[in-house]
């Protein structure tokens, strides 16, 4: 092999070698609870506050475990890893979940947004689906039913802070 050939081969394969060396190792899930703290100390011994386990863009079906200085993000979002920009950024919650407080990117409670939206499935209840990434859905009562305890709003009830049970009320409105 002469030098020209070696040079050409390097030129062809160097990017592949480079990609392999710096390929990001991904996992299928994050450690939770006590395991999270153990993993944080092992992965980021210089500062365990820097440990992040976040879903990877664009499909979120893998997670990355990485040491980075934590950043604050606004409510309605969750932290993700952008392989393209090699950084932690944030994206809006999926429609079935919500995030009602701003957070530091290393907070594992915010994994894909911290709370699942309520479905109002008790007897007589109906769900008001809200396209809202920072607040829960609301519940209301179907015809013939009323809240057991009057809700603050009158019509809608917030299952995060109120008891939204509906009870059957005999309708005697039209009988005098």
Ligand X SMILES: *[C@@H]1O[C@H](CO)[C@@H](O)[C@H](O)[C@H]1NC(C)=O
Residues at the interface with ligand X (CB under 6 A): 101, 103-104, 107, 109, 131, 148, 153-156, 163, 165
Residue 15 or 154 having the CB closest to ligand X? 154
Kindly state the tokens that stand for 81: 């890893």
Residue 73 or 103 having the CB closest to ligand X? 103
Three-state DSSP at 61 gives: coil
CB of 66 to ligand X, least distance (A): 16
CB of 164 to ligand X, least distance (A): 7
Residue 43 or 107 having the CB closest to ligand X? 107
Residue 15 or 33 having the CB closest to ligand X? 33
Kindly state the tokens that stand for 76: 């309605």
Measuring CA to CA, which residue among 97, 92, 116, 107 is closest to residue 52? 107
CB of 118 to ligand X, least distance (A): 10
Distance between CA atoms of residues 176 and 142, nearest Å: 24
CB of 142 to ligand X, least distance (A): 17
Non-local (6+) Cβ contacts of 134 within 8 A are: 75, 76, 98, 99, 100
Neighbouring-strand partners of residue 52 = 66
């Amino acid at each position: 092999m002469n030098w020209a050939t070696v040079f050409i081969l390097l030129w062809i394969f160097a990017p592949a070698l480079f990609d392999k060396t710096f390929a990001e190792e991904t996992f299928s899930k994050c450690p939770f609870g006590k395991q999270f703290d153990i993993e944080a100390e092992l992965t980021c011994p210089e500062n365990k506050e820097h440990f992040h386990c976040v879903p990877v863009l664009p499909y979120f079906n893998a997670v990355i475990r990485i040491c980075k200085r934590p950043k604050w993000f606004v409510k309605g979002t969750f932290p993700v890893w952008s392989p393209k920009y090699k950084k932690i950024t944030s994206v809006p919650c999926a429609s079935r979940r919500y995030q009602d407080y701003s957070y530091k990117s290393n907070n594992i409670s915010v994994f894909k947004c911290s709370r699942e939206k309520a479905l109002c499935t008790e007897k007589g209840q109906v769900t008001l689906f809200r396209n809202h990434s920072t607040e829960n859905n609301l519940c209301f009562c179907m015809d013939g039913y009323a809240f057991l305890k009057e809700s603050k709003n009158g019509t809608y009830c917030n299952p995060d802070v109120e008891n939204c049970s509906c009870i059957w009320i005999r309708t005697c409105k039209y009988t005098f």
